[in-house]
Structures are given as C-alpha cells and as structure tokens.
Amino acid sequence: MSRPRPEPVQVVKQRRDAALAALVERVPYIQFLGISFDRRGDELTATLNYDEKLIGNPMLPALHGGATAAFLETAAIIELSWQMIWPSIESDSHELPQLRMPKTIDFTVDYLRSGLPRDAYARARVNRSGRRYASVHVEAWQDNREKLFAQATGHFMMPQND
C-alpha cells in the first residue's frame, strides 16, 4: 500500500496563503496600521511596517504605546484565529469555516524599551485555548530577536458556533 501522492508545493502554499490573506485583509484597522504577516508552515510573524503616523513621541522619536499595544493585540488575535482555521485548511475538503474573530477580554502590555522609528516584529503563542476562553502571550522586537521592546498577555473569548 502506498500513500497518496502529495499535492504540488505551490498548491499547498497558495491555499495556506489565501486563507491567511482572507483572515487579515478583511480587518480595516490592520490595514490602517500597516500590519502584514509572514508564514512559514503554520508559524506566523507579524510586521508593523514603519510609518510616521505610528509615532507617539516625536522628540525621541518613539512609537506610540497605543500603536505597540494594537500591534501586539492584532498579532494575538490573528494567531488565535489562524490556529482555529488551520485544521480546516489542512483537511481533505479544504473548506474554510465562517471566520469569526475572538473577542478580547483583557490585554496587558509590558513596555520594555522605547519602540524605535522602524519596522517591528511580533510572534504570538497560544498558551491555552479552551472551548470558551484562550490565553495568548505575544513578544515583539525590532533589530534583535533577543531584545524584546514589548511583550503582552491577553485573554480572549472564543467565538461560539451557534
């Protein structure tokens, strides 16, 4: 008995990228802030593409704490949504469920150093995801992966299928 022949790599990539794009492109605020996502397999990295409108302190200059918070919250929500739809993307039918966003219950941001006026990156880790609630941790850095400029933990209400 032999396993079925795997799909061509481009077909798999295209399907995964299309699912990710569908998730990200429908949120106006993500477009407004200029956040994009890179994918390696199922691993996502969010990029906050630098723009002058993200500045909070023009004297330093430094990124606005609110822009940083929004970036981290977005990274957390997209990671959580991505993990919710991943099994469907990979299933035999490849049929995507209706996309519904998790709702933030609380979000705590730790500002470790001031955000420089350049691109920032973030990766989120879902520490627990139950039927109703999820807990997500996010780390953000700029030049050096080891030197975080912010981190956050948030709790989310999972969308209920009714």
Partner 1 sequence: MSADKAKIAAQFIQAIPHSRALGMNLVEIGDGEAVIEMPYDTKLIGDPDTGVIHGGAVSALMDTCSGAAVMSHPDAPTSTATIDLRIDYMRAATPDQTIRTRAYCYQVTRSVAFVRAEAVDEDTSRPVATATGAFTFERSK
Interaction of residue 71 with partner 1, rule CB under 8 A: yes
Phi, psi of 55, deg, nearest 5: -75, 135
Pick one of 47, 83, 104, 135: the residue that binds partner 1 (CB under 8 A). Answer: 104
Q: How far apart are CA 114 and CA 150, in angstroms?
A: 8
Q: What is the smallest separation between the CB atom of 145 and partner 1, expressed in angstroms? A: 22
Q: Which residue has the tokens 């995964």?
A: 16
Residue 29, CA distances (Å) to 10, 35, 67, 73 in order: 30, 9, 11, 12
27 binds partner 1 (CB under 8 A): yes
Q: How far apart are the C-alpha atoms of 100 and 162, rounded to whole Å?
A: 12
User: What is the nearest approach in angstroms of partner 1 to the Cβ of residue 95?
Assistant: 19
Map residues 44-63 to x or -, x wherever contact with partner 1 holds by CB under 8 A.
--------xxxxxxxx--xx
Residues that bind partner 1 (CB under 8 A): 26-33, 52-59, 62-67, 69-71, 73-74, 100-101, 103-111, 114
